[in-house]
Structure 1
Amino acid sequence: MDVLVKLTAPLKYLLIDHKQKKYVDYILPIFFSLLMCVLFFFLPEQIVIFRNNGLIESLSNFIQVLAGFYIAALAAIATFPNKNIDNVTDGYPLKLNNEELTRRQFLCYMFGYLAFLGFSLVLLGKVAISLEPNITLLLNNLSDEIKLALKVFFLFLYFIAFNSLILTTLYGLYYLTEKIHERKTEFTSELGESSTKNNDIEDF
């Protein structure tokens, strides 16, 4: 079990507590996934999902490109020379297991999670495409309505993960582009007390 905990360490990103973060992690991915499934259900012609050149394969090829970016970003963040990145956040704190995280720790968890999720989605997509003939045979005895419901359910779960990947990527880019370069905190003592720190700020 200890090995599994280590192998799934990037998923700790989801346990990081913050008021705004839950929207990027859960609320928005679920909302957009529901929207996509509704659109899929009412399309006049069904989209090819599992077969070659289908939806899953196209998205998997796109995610493969992103996966390399995540690994490079993670390596860069771990050694990024910026005085703000090793400070805790100025607003509502980012916490994991009741311990405040620095911005560097937060970004490492974020891009580690993105790399893990990217690899998982690519693997899931390749396996689904490879097993498509067998899945079709297993579902032959089911009605068309049940087959459609199963497809929509699979897409719902898949798009939750995919939307989480995209939204978290966009937030990571925003954070690297803007947040870590802000100069909100001015230290006024050796203990690191700040004259401008405002604990009521919700952003991080």
Structure 2
Amino acid sequence: MLKATTKKLLKPLYYLRIKHEQKLFIDIYMPLMVAALFSFLLSRTPVEIAFLGKSGLVQLVNGLLQILIGFFVASLAAVATFQRQGMDEVMRGKAPTLYGKDVTRRQYLCYMFGYLAFMSIAVYFGSGVLELTMTIWKEIFGNNFTQVKLIAVFIYFALVSNIIFTTLLALHFLTDRIVRDNDVEPNEEPAP
């Protein structure tokens, strides 16, 4: 029963199981590159950048996440009930797949918005817990805290970058692919 319940609660993460070559670049490679760049710059800057605290980066991002969570849930509800022709058809071009089966537009967008809402909630609460327990982490890691902080910053930037890039892909679908005819433009392989 616990396994079945956990599987249901983590269902939005099935978005990561959808396969498409462009999706891998958007979901993994780009966020890791951005996280590596920001972590490198953060480690080399002579100025102390506030990561946590009243005017820290986490607070700014969490303010945005509070808004985005509602947007993602509303978008999920809208896509799930949207009555446009073609929503339940397999995506044209090189269609994304889930467990070897082609995915429809509605399935893809529902998984995407569910994933975005789930990740936004997880990052929001995860960073809040991290901020509340920071003194404990400083005591546990002592002299190694700076290295651990850099790893935490890398992970945080990777997760936030993943949300940003996936949101941009979702905006592409909402502004272009859903309202355009279902034909693939010449020389264009549609994004997943």
TM-score, normalised with respect to structure 2: 0.91
State the shift of 1:166 in Å: 0.4
Within the candidate set 102, 106, 113, 2:115 is matched to 113
Whole-angstrom CA distance in 2 between matches of 1:62 and 1:39: 23
**1:114-147 Cα shifts (integer Å, max 9, x gaps):** 000000000111101111122223333x1xxx32
Structure-1 residue corresponding to 2:155: 157
CA contact (8 A) 2:138 2:145 kept: no
- Equivalent residue of 1:59, what SS? helix
Q: Which structure 2 residue ranges, 5 or more long, are not aligned?
A: none
Structure-1 residue corresponding to 2:146: 148
Say if 1:130 and 1:72 are closer, same or farther in 2 by CA, change over 3 A. same
Whole-angstrom CA distance in 2 between matches of 1:12 and 1:180: 22
Whole-angstrom CA distance in 1 between matches of 2:188 and 2:50: 46
Task: State the AA in 1 paired with 2:128.
Answer: K
Say if 1:3 and 1:201 are closer, same or farther in 2 by CA, change over 3 A. same
**1:161-191 Cα shifts (integer Å, max 9, x gaps):** 1000000001101111101222244xxxxxx
Task: State the AA in 2 paired with 1:112.
Answer: G
CA contact (8 A) 2:141 2:148 kept: no
Greater per-residue helix proportion: 2
State the shift of 1:197 in Å: 10
TM-score, normalised with respect to structure 1: 0.86
Structure-1 residue corresponding to 2:32: 30
Whole-angstrom CA distance in 1 between matches of 2:139 and 2:147: 17
Structure-2 residue corresponding to 1:188: none
Whole-angstrom CA distance in 2 between matches of 1:178 and 1:197: 12
Task: State the AA in 1 paired with 2:180.
Answer: E
Structure-2 residue corresponding to 1:193: none
| Cα RMSD after superposing both structures | 1.9
- Is 1:180 the counterpart of 2:170? The answer is no
Within the candidate set 88, 91, 97, 2:90 is matched to 88
Which stretches of structure 1, 4 residues or more, deviate above 4 A after TM superposition? none
Whole-angstrom CA distance in 2 between matches of 1:131 and 1:156: 18
Within the candidate set 121, 125, 128, 1:126 is matched to 128
Structure-2 residue corresponding to 1:15: 17
Structure-2 residue corresponding to 1:203: 190
State the shift of 1:103 in Å: 0.2
State the shift of 1:50 in Å: 2.6
**1:78-110 Cα shifts (integer Å, max 9, x gaps):** 111211222111100111011111101100000
Structure-2 residue corresponding to 1:168: 166
Task: State the AA in 1 paired with 2:162.
Answer: S
CA contact (8 A) 2:86 2:182 kept: no
Say if 1:77 and 1:47 are closer, same or farther in 2 by CA, change over 3 A. same
CA contact (8 A) 1:20 1:202 kept: no
* Higher-Rg member (1/2): 1
Q: Which structure 1 residue ranges, 5 or more long, are not aligned?
A: 186-195
